[in-house]
Structure 1
Amino acid sequence: MSAPDPQTSSVAVRTGWRARLSPRRRIERVRESAGAVAQIVIAATAAFAFAHYVLGHAAPLLAATVTVSSLGLVRDARPRRVLETVIGMIVGILVAELIVLIAGIGWWQLAITLAVSLVVARFLNDQPGFAIAAAIQAAIVMVIPESVPFLRLVDGIVGGVAALLVTALVPRSPLRQVAQEGAVVLAAFDDAVLTLVQALRAGDRRRAERGLEKARALQGPLDAWRESIESGAAIARISPFLHRQRSEFDRQERVRTHLDLATRNLRVIARRVVYLCDDGAPRPVAADLLDELAAAARLLPDVLVDISYEPVAREAVRSVATRLDPAALAAGRSSVDQNLIGAFRPLAVDLMTAAGMTAADARAALPRV
């Protein structure tokens, strides 16, 4: 295999970099972060105002910093994650306050504070971010003097409570994010399937290998989708504004689960396509069947946003599934060809169940073999 052309690789890198820095992408990035920005601004402002005007703290810096750090701009804004981050920061503040009370403020006290806060945080939680959050807040306590002991601990608690309240009362429209993540997965799924269809039509092993690579790459988007669903469901459980969406998150998880199974079956199919394309012979029957399954799967993005599309998607897949008889469709062909069409059967079942059909009904739609 020849080495990649450095000039071509450089052009690809520059093109990708320009795409990430394009004005359209920048605007899209800002739009996607609008909910998180609103949460942070509201929570940090409220925490600072409460600590300053209600509790009488002159400069409640930690009330704002704890709020901002615990919410952040990350995808996963579930209450448990926010609470864990808050606890990490409170641990750091408490350690620092105790050391200031015992040993005062200085360079060696800062070193001890950072060491103790990191060790304690690592003992309490296995997430690296938990320990770093504790160390950052501990450092702030050490370098910004305060005459009243544990005043900053109170500010940190105020900030943490504000972050948790705004998570429930000003949610980030997680259902929209979940649907977008699902659409990304389905687009990548369709791309992988169509590459395999082209490989079967042409008997092209290299194209089949690209299809296999695309099928394997689906796991990353699927994991991101699962994370969004889990985050949204956790928020919906505590938010009075999203309480009615809990059933919708359950439905999204059902679609994701069965599409995850479908991608696993797609990888099995892709490996068989790679093997079959060794002889360079086109296989139009298998290509047409897989293409029809891909066309039916293109209805699933509509299912994600509107449950009323489920019957249409189910019927589209079922119309292909009822014809998946390997012996009849690959009569006179090798057992390997029949096995390829046989591998379409579990894929069809997964697509039907993703569209809301029961597993028993989906299996019953297949012809007996």
Structure 2
Amino acid sequence: MPQVFDLRSSGRRTLESIVPALQIVIASSTSYAVAHYLLGHAVPLLAVTVTISSLGFVRDARPIRVLETAIGIIIGIVLSEALLLTVGQGLWQVALVLMLTLIVARALSPSNAFAVAAGVQSMLVMLLPVPAGGPFVRSIDGIIAGVVALIVTALLPRDPRRLARQDARRLFASLTEALDSLVVALERADEPSAERALERLRTTQPVIDSWAASLDSAAAIARISPFLRRRRPDLLAQTRVLRGMDLATRNLRVIARRIDFLVRDGAPRPGIASIMASLGTSVELLGQSLDDPLLADTVRVGLVAVAERLRPDTVVSGAPVTDSVVILMMRPLLVDLLTAADLPAEKARALLPEL
């Protein structure tokens, strides 16, 4: 079935690519200028192509990834040039060099794109005429590209914080929708609502992984970039929220599966629904606290109030075992949410009423 063109996704992808594209253009132009005008290399093709391959459009813009990519590709270029001097040019030589480069690239990195980039650079070495100044001129161009890519990463950094915020908003939107559906499921014994919540929660792990990757990238860049260093406290706060929400989401999936089974008896459970609604309000505010840290106090107050209610005998008089299990499962969920709201886990556990 042909894929339908999504104009909104295309527009969003284009806007997100403007800064990385600008960074790549500046870095590639600088590499070319250094190799051509400063060192006198007539056609410093690899200075440009290695820069593009090192930076790329990947979400992970960490300096260590840029360095690893540049080093790996440069190793491929040096290997190709050494083999070119040893075995010369020809069909079997091209096949040999490509095979060795791909094997070395796969040994150096698990990235498929990395191996392909290294293979492409090695073929440029093997198929293009040897430049004036000797074959290892191209290795020098590769080193220039790697150095420039790192410098540009530090001085003209991409700002993954925006991507991290987008991922965070997507996660909290999904959790809020899922919690709302669970409230409806419990209030009305509505099976479709429980199923919708469960399906929504099953889509959250890729968002969590993307958020984690964006935060790791942003934190790594902030360590070397003078322009992003002052953002480190904000990134640390987001990392704390992410850790708590990752655990909370896992717990909520388990609870949703239990509720999906529970509501099949057709009995409404307004008491549990009320607690779930309170959790939904707190989760929504917790998401907003990433932009407004002052809301964190409100979140903690709301969650503490929920903690005081998490006893089966107070939620439902003479609660059956099936209902009690759901209420007990909410206790670790609450601890995770309190941890995300910057309360130490020990204190969060201490707030739970004794059973």
Residues 1:254 and 2:220 are matched in the alignment = no
**TM-score in terms of structure 2 length:** 0.94
Aligned-residue offset at 1:123 = 3.1
Q: For residue 226 of structure 2, what is the aligned residue in structure 1?
A: 240
Aligned-residue offset at 1:119 = 2.0
Q: 1:203 aligns with which of 169, 189, 192?
A: 189
Q: For residue 125 of structure 1, what is the aligned residue in structure 2?
A: 109
Q: For residue 7 of structure 1, what is the aligned residue in structure 2?
A: none
Q: 2:271 aligns with which of 263, 272, 285?
A: 285
Give distance in 2, aligned partners of 1:31 and 1:122.
32
Q: 1:168 aligns with which of 146, 149, 154?
A: 154
- What per-residue deviation string (whole Å, max 9, x for no partner) do you get for residues 135-182 of structure 1? 110011112112322011111111111111111111111222211111
- What per-residue deviation string (whole Å, max 9, x for no partner) do you get for residues 76-109 of structure 1? 1111111111122112211211122123222222
Give distance in 2, aligned partners of 1:365 and 1:307.
22
Q: For residue 82 of structure 1, what is the aligned residue in structure 2?
A: 66
**TM-score in terms of structure 1 length:** 0.91
Q: For residue 310 of structure 2, what is the aligned residue in structure 1?
A: 324
Aligned-residue offset at 1:33 = 1.4
- What per-residue deviation string (whole Å, max 9, x for no partner) do you get for residues 19-76 of structure 1? x2x2x44332222112211210110010000100000001101101001111111111
In structure 2, the residue corresponding to 1:368 is in which secondary structure? coil
Q: 2:255 aligns with which of 265, 269, 279?
A: 269
Q: For residue 5 of structure 1, what is the aligned residue in structure 2?
A: none
Give distance in 1, aligned partners of 2:278 and 2:292.
22
Give distance in 2, aligned partners of 1:248 and 1:296.
20
Aligned-residue offset at 1:331 = 1.1
Contact 2:312 2:319 in 1 (8 A): no
Root-mean-square deviation over aligned CA pairs? 1.8
Runs of 5+ consecutive residues of structure 1 not aligned to the other structure: 1-9
Q: 2:91 aligns with which of 102, 107, 123?
A: 107
Aligned-residue offset at 1:125 = 3.4
Give distance in 2, aligned partners of 1:243 and 1:177.
17
- What per-residue deviation string (whole Å, max 9, x for no partner) do you get for residues 275-308 of structure 1? 2112111111111210111011101222222322
Q: For residue 95 of structure 1, what is the aligned residue in structure 2?
A: 79
Aligned-residue offset at 1:194 = 1.7
- What per-residue deviation string (whole Å, max 9, x for no partner) do you get for residues 214-266 of structure 1? 22321111111111111111111111211222232221111000001111110
In structure 2, the residue corresponding to 1:171 is in which secondary structure? coil
Give distance in 1, aligned partners of 2:345 and 2:57.
39
Q: For residue 135 of structure 1, what is the aligned residue in structure 2?
A: 119
Contact 1:92 1:136 in 2 (8 A): no
Q: For residue 155 of structure 1, what is the aligned residue in structure 2?
A: 141
Give distance in 1, aligned partners of 2:284 and 2:344.
20
Contact 2:51 2:146 in 1 (8 A): yes
The percentage of aligned residue pairs carrying the same residue is 47
Contact 2:79 2:101 in 1 (8 A): yes
Give distance in 2, aligned partners of 1:26 and 1:206.
32
Give distance in 2, aligned partners of 1:102 and 1:214.
58
Give distance in 2, aligned partners of 1:361 and 1:125.
42
Give distance in 2, aligned partners of 1:86 and 1:300.
40
Stretch moving more, 332-341 or 204-213: 204-213
Q: 1:123 to 1:364 in 2, by over 3 A?
A: closer
Give distance in 2, aligned partners of 1:48 and 1:160.
12
Give distance in 1, aligned partners of 2:211 and 2:199.
20
Contact 2:174 2:204 in 1 (8 A): yes
- What per-residue deviation string (whole Å, max 9, x for no partner) do you get for residues 305-333 of structure 1? 23222112212222222222211111123
Give distance in 2, aligned partners of 1:127 and 1:112.
21
Give distance in 2, aligned partners of 1:315 and 1:172.
37
